[in-house]
Structure 1
Amino acid sequence: MGNLHTIDLFDIGLEKGKHIKHLPLFYQIFGQPAHKAPVVLVNHALTGNSQVIGENGWWNDLIGDGKTIDTSQYCIIAFNIPGNGFDGDPTNLIQNYKDFTAKDIAAIFWKGLQSLGITELFAAIGGSLGGGIAWEMAFLKPQSIRHCIPVATHWKATDWLIANVLVQDAILNNSKNPIHDARLHAMLLYRSPQSLKQKFNTEKEKDRELYQIESWLAHHGNKLQNRFQLPAYKLMNHLLKTIGETSSQDSWETFSRETKSEIHLVGINSDYFFTPDENAETYHKWKNTGLKISYHEIDSIHGHDAFLIEFEQLGRFLKPIFS
């Protein structure tokens, strides 16, 4: 349990017309066996991976024995977005990153689940990019997810998000130090001015000319550069702008008529990346249509990254679903 496994997928058709003959899909399983307990799919964010719990687990405070998503009660499955490099094999990195969309990844995840003999999910949950992929999975199979839980994301990329993806892509393709420099910019999207003020208060490093905020950003740039590969970062960044790319008002109306899913939106009041008004607008637009939809908002100064920080609030919102 928790070891990295592989599913070999073949003959994958992509939204933009390209065809993949062979695609390895890497995943981990935590908690109960897949056919002995309800299945919860956890989708990782841009720089995340399938290691949701355990050593280096990025959602240890939320998922585990006796925690909000209880591994003694549920089977937890987490796929790696193909090309994210978590398997450590450079031959599996995707070079033609613009061939893929978030909808392609959602379809690939469904194929992976079907290979495991799983046709229905108790829940699909993810933050940021992972939440966008959860939305795409729900649109693809509106009767196969009981609880869809998109956290700090939206069902369709906005102009603001698309613009920032372009800036990131330009840095990644033109900088002499691409991962490091792109991460500097990205961290300013993931946090808020208030969060940085609380953390650093415009103070300098001891015996140095650098401000603490400068050292902190450089640290995150170096850290990501040491564990992430350029083709992987290009792909993950690109996928953000494709969330909901083929979805429309008609898609929503069809989905709302056909789905059996309960939609649990979770926004963050200080999120500058996926702004909370997007989720609030979605909720108010669809709450009286018969769609089972709810909206919760994390109160935090920490911006987009609050979904990785404010575990107590997030756990409180999720507890009624998983209890």
Structure 2
Amino acid sequence: MSTLQKIDIFDFTLQQGVYKRWLPLYYQVFGQLIGTAPVVVVNHALTGNSQVIGQNGWWNDLIGENKTIDAGFYTIIAFNIPGNGFDGQAENLIQNYKEYTAKDIARLFWEGLHSLKIAQLFAVIGGSLGGGIAWEMAFLQPKNIQHLIPVASDWKASDWLIANVLVQDKILNNSENPVYDARLHAMLLYRTPQSLKAKFNRSKNDNQELYQIESWLLHHGQKLENRFALESYKLMNHLLKTIGESTNCGQFLAFAKETSAEIHLISVDSDYFFTADENRETYEILKRVNSKVHYSEIQSIHGHDAFLIEFEQLNQILKNTFTTTKLKTKQA
């Protein structure tokens, strides 16, 4: 298992002009040693962390030895968003969570990569918030990423997403059990009515006191409350609405013309969070000015969480990008 490592970032000024004398950036490296193989950066989602594979690895079905993103061939780097609490530093780092933006996190990730003497990336991939940060990384360094792969995400926060971030923020700041209660609401955004019907179908627990859907929601609220700090949740939720905040449509088109990255948009047809409609619109805009843009759609009843469930489809979508490149390199 990869150990948690740290890079100290000094004299960092946030987008809002707030100066940070020091920020610790924690990360893990999997697969090949840095400097010996193509680098894949994996960005975690809202309540995720850098443990992408191994025990409690949240993308074990996609990444690992002889998997689609093969740890036997690639160097895989995953940074923790500062303040996500995986390093136990949440309360110490976050005095005002609204100071930070997704672009700040992208800048920190690039700072970390430069500290590791990495300038060029084979791929940046991330789901949900991690996909938004991947977009921001590409905006900052449009010629230093070969493959940009945002999954169940988009280059900007939609009005729908911003509205739900506000609801989450109100719960987190006003509830007596903020993390617990906010998670109940969030889980309904990550799934769909069809997904919940297929899973529970109005059944009750053995004691008949609660519907199984109620027990399931309460379990997820308790589970997150036990492992995630309130300040961390406030920050991660806030970051969602800042995706693309400093990039207008004209700048987005300029990026699309300038970038050397091959862009792989992957949406979920039933996503209530980053909707497929928004991704299709992004694809239509991009393909007018960039021929290296691909659009794929995961078919699922499970909504936003399908990027953590429908691994067979996701592997099939990504297989050509990662496996073909690996085979070509070995043959050469």
Tell me the TM-score normalised to structure 1 length. Answer: 0.99
Which 5+ residue runs of structure 2 have no aligned equivalent? 324-332
2:173 match: 173
8 Å contact from structure 1 (residues 138, 145) kept in 2 = yes
8 Å contact from structure 1 (residues 84, 93) kept in 2 = no
Looking at structure 2, the residues matched to 281 and 290 of structure 1 have their Cα atoms a distance apart, in angstroms, of 14
8 Å contact from structure 1 (residues 93, 232) kept in 2 = no
1:239 match: 239
Spell out, residue by residue over 1:35-87, the C-alpha distance to the aligned partner (whole angstroms, 9 max, x if none).
Answer: 00000000000000000000000000000000000000000000000000001
Indicate the SS of the match to 2:11. Answer: strand
Indicate the SS of the match to 2:150. Answer: strand
1:263 match: 263
8 Å contact from structure 1 (residues 40, 74) kept in 2 = yes
Indicate the SS of the match to 2:109. Answer: helix
What residue identity is the alignment partner of 1:235? L
2:218 match: 218
Looking at structure 1, the residues matched to 76 and 284 of structure 2 have their Cα atoms a distance apart, in angstroms, of 31
What residue identity is the alignment partner of 2:19? H
Is 1:147 equivalent to 2:147 in the alignment? Answer: yes
Indicate the SS of the match to 1:78. Answer: strand
8 Å contact from structure 1 (residues 85, 93) kept in 2 = no
The structure-2 alpha-carbon separation of the partners of 1:281 and 1:120, relative to structure 1 and needing over 3 Å to count, comes to same
Looking at structure 2, the residues matched to 207 and 239 of structure 1 have their Cα atoms a distance apart, in angstroms, of 41
1:15 match: 15
What residue identity is the alignment partner of 1:58? W
Spell out, residue by residue over 1:226-249, the C-alpha distance to the aligned partner (whole angstroms, 9 max, x if none).
Answer: 000000000000000000001112
Indicate the SS of the match to 2:289. Answer: coil
Looking at structure 2, the residues matched to 250 and 108 of structure 1 have their Cα atoms a distance apart, in angstroms, of 25
Indicate the SS of the match to 2:288. Answer: coil
Looking at structure 1, the residues matched to 304 and 91 of structure 2 have their Cα atoms a distance apart, in angstroms, of 32
Spell out, residue by residue over 1:135-189, the C-alpha distance to the aligned partner (whole angstroms, 9 max, x if none).
Answer: 0000010000000000000100010000000000000000000000000000000
2:97 match: 97
1:160 match: 160
2:326 match: none
What residue identity is the alignment partner of 1:220? H
2:248 match: 248
8 Å contact from structure 1 (residues 135, 150) kept in 2 = yes
Looking at structure 1, the residues matched to 87 and 207 of structure 2 have their Cα atoms a distance apart, in angstroms, of 41
8 Å contact from structure 1 (residues 85, 92) kept in 2 = no
Indicate the SS of the match to 2:66. Answer: coil
What residue identity is the alignment partner of 1:166? L
1:197 match: 197
Indicate the SS of the match to 1:288. Answer: helix
Tell me the TM-score normalised to structure 2 length. Answer: 0.96
**How far apart are 1:288 and its partner, in Å?**
2.9
1:305 match: 305
**How far apart are 1:197 and its partner, in Å?**
0.3
Looking at structure 2, the residues matched to 237 and 291 of structure 1 have their Cα atoms a distance apart, in angstroms, of 34
8 Å contact from structure 1 (residues 191, 302) kept in 2 = yes
2:296 match: 296
What residue identity is the alignment partner of 1:178? P
8 Å contact from structure 2 (residues 134, 150) kept in 1 = yes
Say which is worse superposed, 182-191 or 286-295, in terms of deviation: 286-295
2:73 match: 73
1:42 match: 42
2:320 match: 320
The structure-2 alpha-carbon separation of the partners of 1:270 and 1:243, relative to structure 1 and needing over 3 Å to count, comes to same
Indicate the SS of the match to 1:287. Answer: helix
Looking at structure 1, the residues matched to 252 and 224 of structure 2 have their Cα atoms a distance apart, in angstroms, of 37
Looking at structure 2, the residues matched to 225 and 17 of structure 1 have their Cα atoms a distance apart, in angstroms, of 32
8 Å contact from structure 2 (residues 83, 89) kept in 1 = no
CA-atom RMSD in angstroms: 0.9
Following superposition, which runs of at least 4 residues in structure 1 exceed 2 angstroms of deviation? 89-93
Which 5+ residue runs of structure 1 have no aligned equivalent? none
**How far apart are 1:90 and its partner, in Å?**
4.9
Indicate the SS of the match to 1:188. Answer: helix
8 Å contact from structure 2 (residues 91, 231) kept in 1 = no
**How far apart are 1:133 and its partner, in Å?**
0.1
Looking at structure 1, the residues matched to 233 and 27 of structure 2 have their Cα atoms a distance apart, in angstroms, of 19
